A and B are shown apart, each in its own frame.
Chain A
Amino acid sequence: MAASSYAGRILYVDLASGDVQKEPLAPELARDYLGGAGINARLAYDLIKPGLDAFSPENVLIIGAGPLVGTLAPATPKTDAATKSPLTGTLGLSTSGHFGSMLKYAGYDHLVIRGRAPRPAYLKIEDGRVEVCDASHLWGKDIFETTDALNKEHPGFWVSCIGPAGENRVRFSFILTEKQSTWGRGGFGAVMGSKNLKAIVVRGSRGIEVADPKRFEDDCDAWMGRFSGVKSNKVWSQIGTMIGWEGYARLGYLSYKNWKVAYPLERTIQEFGAQALRERIKKGTISCPSCPLGCKAYLGGADGPAVATSCVLGFTWQLGLRCDVGSYENAVKAFELCNRYGVDHMTFGNLMGHLNDHFQQGTITLEDTLGYVPELGFEATMDLLHKVAYREGIGDVLADAWYGVVDRFHKGSWEEAVQIKKLDPPFDIRAVLSTETFGQLVEPRGGHMNQSISINILGDRTPEQLRRYCGGHIGIPDQAMERVFAQPDKPSVPRITRWVQDYNAILFSLGVCQRAPISFQYNTQVCSDFYSAATGLETSPQELLHIGERIWNLQKAFNVREGFRRQDDMAPARWMKDPLVVEGREVPAVPEQAIGRLLDEYYDERDWDLETGLPTREKLVELGLGDVAEDLKRMGI
């Protein structure tokens, strides 16, 4: 029987047969992989066979919530999803802010969905009662309509659902929970759509207990006490991720025109900055369950709709700047449409920018675009969003993301696509070398960085600050600290990234949010204390880091089985060959040789083979992944 603070069960649902199985959560699974993203990785590795088409019924959608989710442990809402991604072909990973709490109150730590329903369906989970229900009345509705309809039909339930983009298997469509929390990048919506699964609704009435109530409560109160003393948290609550806007703009992160030039600084700050957000756009503050920060927001213009976002900066950049929609109000309207359809605005903005840039250069013609005239702007954005969601005309090409673009416009050449493992990355390594920008190269899900977040995204931390973070916060062992700080004035970013990723794997497996104000308060010692008090299983920072390393290597092994190698960790050609122009100043490219050296340092820090970028057999065995080592050996890898 799993320890306290776990719900204690994994729910398996086969949509084809309607079969429902509730299996006990094996204690060794919890001990070895913690929960959430960790156990998800093990389930994904065991259940998703290599070479599978992501749209086949055999693909599995896994949702998991770690042992701290659903408790009073501050900011522990994180619910992880895993699948084979139809966008990247890698292990698809995403973390969301809702759902998991209610899943645990219903009595389950993980939900595993297999098969394809014979007709549109939604899954209803209410404590021990699990049903596959008819969704024919919902199919075709957008996400908001679906959520409202199911909220009315099932009061008190939380709704996760897809819109037309998911139904039409747009490869970068997402799942939205209660209209505010996403399983966002990598095409999770399309996986649900391929299963004829329109929605999951969940309600629970079971309590979560902890092993040592006094210790747990003291830890919660101490955490909240420390948190309330940090002045910048108030700013996070007011403007969310826009706290980074001006810094990002000055560095050149906020580029447009297909990664060539930073959006004009003055307009970036005046029209789309924090002041505009406060005065014209923000209508309310939202928190994930258990979170005291409140970095999410309700948005709307003077006459526009209210739409929720978990990352204010993301859509402001992608739609406001990249799609150049003209005003913050227009950006909100376009964002609302993205959320109704279920289209990832990040990939959409990059595709739109790519299309425009190449059309202007003449490398894409009207014949290529089926007569569609690419342009930026609000009307063009709203029109193209519709075309993509419904796979109409050029939208059908773009709905397959970089596969469609490369196949139709570039005769199979990937040189022009700014992507890493087919996922377009958010943060430009030319602007700053940080764990976030480097981490995008090696994250298992492809070009995203949320498992590599540390404290240096603006590149302005001193070596001493980094030393304190690495040693005190993460608890990097002394020998590793020597390697990281071999050049005292120039700490190794790739080596730090390895440890940051292991730390983030812990957070994602416990259910802790990785937003800076939260993860700062959660260091490995605090994680260890909370975990021990909650579950009754004593652990330590070193043990947790070891588990984090195990989880990371398992995620990597999934991709190794799918054929991913060192060359797939390379940066996009644009970053390696072309400068970025920031307010008239050229920021140089990062040449391929330099990227190669960074990868060498990273693989070395991971004890992976430098030539292939793969975990060695010895490393896998050391981590208790001997079965994985055998698999790879059998496959001749």
Chain B
Amino acid sequence: MDAGQHPILAYPEKCTGCMRCQLRCSWTYVSAFNPSESYIQVELGDLNRISFTELCNACGFCVDECPFGALELA
């Protein structure tokens, strides 16, 4: 699902690649730190690419976790 259609808005230009969103998500849903099982995915690059899997229910924990304001509940 593209970030643009999603209840959580992503601002890649503010994303620093810290991955705390991914760690909080997998911690919440699978009780382990595992970015590959996170429902938010951050792909590192010159401009990080943020996407959400179909399992994301927009709980907003990633929004709360982000230290850089790169995520917002729409």
Bound form: Cα–Cα A205–B44 in Å: 16
B1-51 residues at the A interface, CB under 8 angstroms: 13, 16-20, 23-24, 26-27, 30-37, 43-44, 46-47
Q: Which of B18, B24, B35 lies at the interface centre, i.e. has the most chain A CB atoms within 10 A of its CB?
A: B18
Quick check: A207 and B37 within 8 Å, CB to CB? Answer: yes
> Which of A156, A289, A292, A306 is B46 in contact with, Cβ under 8 Å?
A306
With A72-B24, A178-B44, A298-B46 as contacts: A208 and B18 at CB distance below 8 Å: no
Task: Report how far A518 CA is from B31 CA in the complex, Å.
Answer: 25
Residue contact B32 to A292, C-beta cutoff 8 Å: no
Contacts A286-B17, A290-B18 given; does A208 touch B32 at CB 8 Å: yes
User: What residues of chain B lie closer than 8 Å to A205, measured between beta carbons?
Assistant: 34, 36-37
Minimal beta-carbon separation of A69 from chain B (angstroms): 10
Residue A58 at the chain B interface, CB threshold 8 Å: no
B18 vs chain A, min Cβ distance (A): 4
Closest to A206 in B: B34
Q: How far is the CA of A158 from the CA of B19 in the complex (A)?
A: 14
A292 touches B67 (CB 8 A): yes
Closest to A5 in B: B33
Closest to A151 in B: B45
For B47, the chain A residues whose CB sits under 8 A away are 284
The answer to whether A287 touches B17 (Cβ under 8 A) is yes
Most buried by B among A72, A209, A237: A72
Is the pair B18, A289 in contact by a Cβ cutoff of 8 Å? yes
| CA of A237 to CA of B68, assembled, Å | 9
Q: Which residues of A contact B31 (CB under 8 A)?
A: 209, 213
Q: Which of A178, A208, A224 has the most CB of B within 10 A?
A: A208
Is B33's CB under 8 angstroms from A208's CB? yes
Chain A, range 283-307, C-beta contacts under 8 Å to B = 284-292, 294, 296, 298, 306
Please pick, from A158, A207, A292, A296, the residue contacting B20 in the complex, using a CB distance under 8 A.
A292
CA distance A206 to B36 in the complex (A): 8
Cβ–Cβ contact B20 & A284, under 8 A = no
Q: Are B17 and A72 in contact (CB under 8 A)?
A: no
- How far is A228 from B69 in the complex, measured between Cα atoms in Å? 13
Bound-complex Cα distance A428 to B44 (A): 37
Instruction: Please indicate the chain A residues that have their CB under 8 angstroms from the CB of B33 in the complex.
Output: 70-72, 207-209
Chain A interface mostly: loop
**Cα separation A292 to B36 with both chains bound (whole Å):** 20
Q: How large is the interface on A (under 10, 10 to 19, 20 to 34, 35 or more residues)?
A: 20 to 34
Are B16 and A208 in contact (CB-based, < 8 A)? no
Name which of A284, A286, A291, A296 has the most chain B CB atoms within 10 A of its CB.
A284
Indicate whether A291 sits within 8 Å of B18 (C-beta atoms), given known contacts A72-B24, A208-B32. yes
In the complex, are the beta carbons of A207 and B16 less than 8 A apart? Answer: no
Question: Contact: B16 with A294, CB < 8 Å?
Answer: yes
Give Cα distance in the complex from A105 to B35, angstroms.
8
Cα distance A536–B30 when bound, in Å?
Answer: 19
Interface size class of chain B, counting residues whose CB lies under 8 Å from the partner chain: 20 to 34
The answer to whether the Cβ of A444 comes within 8 Å of any Cβ in the partner chain is: no
Given A105-B34, A208-B34, A292 contacting B18 (CB threshold 8 A): yes
Residue of chain A at shortest CB distance from B47: A284
CB closest chain-A residue, reference B35 = A105
C-alpha spacing A288/B44, complex, angstroms: 11
Can you list, as one digit per residue, whether each of A162-201 has a CB less than 8 Å from chain B (1) or not (0)? Answer: 0000000000000000100000000000000000000000
Residue of B nearest to A71 (CB): B33
State the CA gap A213–B17 with chains docked (Å): 24
- Whether B46 and A72, one on each chain, are in contact in the complex, defined by CB atoms closer than 8 angstroms, is no
In this complex, what residue of B is CB-closest to A216?
A: B27
Candidate in A207, A288, A294, A296 with the most chain B CB atoms within 10 angstroms: A207
A204 on interface, CB distance cutoff 8 Å = yes
Which residues of chain A have C-beta atoms less than 8 A from B20's C-beta?
72, 290, 292
- B29 CB to nearest chain A CB (Å): 11
* Contact A286–B16 (Cβ < 8 Å): yes
Please, how many angstroms separate the alpha-carbon atoms of A204 and B32 in the complex?
A: 13
CB-contact partner of A284 in B13, B35, B36, under 8 A = B13
A224 to B18, CA, bound (A): 14
Contact B32 A209 (CB under 8 A): yes
Tell me the nearest residue of chain B to A224, going by C-beta.
Answer: B67
Most buried by B among A71, A158, A178, A287: A287
Instruction: Give CA–CA (A286, B18) in the complex, Å.
Output: 8
Query: Contact string, A208-228, partner B, CB cutoff 8 A, digits 1/0?
Result: 110001000100000010001
Give the docked Cα–Cα distance between A72 and B23 (Å): 6
Residue in A207, A288, A291 whose beta carbon sits within 8 Å of that of B26 in the complex:
A207
Q: How far is A290 from B27 in the complex, measured between Cα atoms in Å?
A: 13
State the CA gap A98–B63 with chains docked (Å). Answer: 23
Nearest neighbor of B24 in chain A, beta-carbon distance? A72
Residue contacts A-B, CB under 8 angstroms, 12 given: A70-B33, A72-B20, A105-B36, A205-B34, A207-B34, A285-B16, A287-B68, A288-B18, A289-B18, A290-B18, A291-B18, A292-B67
Binding site for A on B (CB under 8 A): 13, 16-20, 23-24, 26-27, 30-37, 43-44, 46-47, 67-68
Known contacts A70-B33, A213-B31, A287-B16; 15 additional CB pairs below 8 A are: A71-B33, A72-B20, A101-B19, A158-B44, A206-B34, A207-B33, A207-B37, A208-B32, A209-B31, A228-B67, A287-B68, A289-B17, A291-B18, A292-B67, A294-B68
4 shortest interchain CB distances as A-B pairs = A207-B32, A207-B34, A287-B18, A292-B67
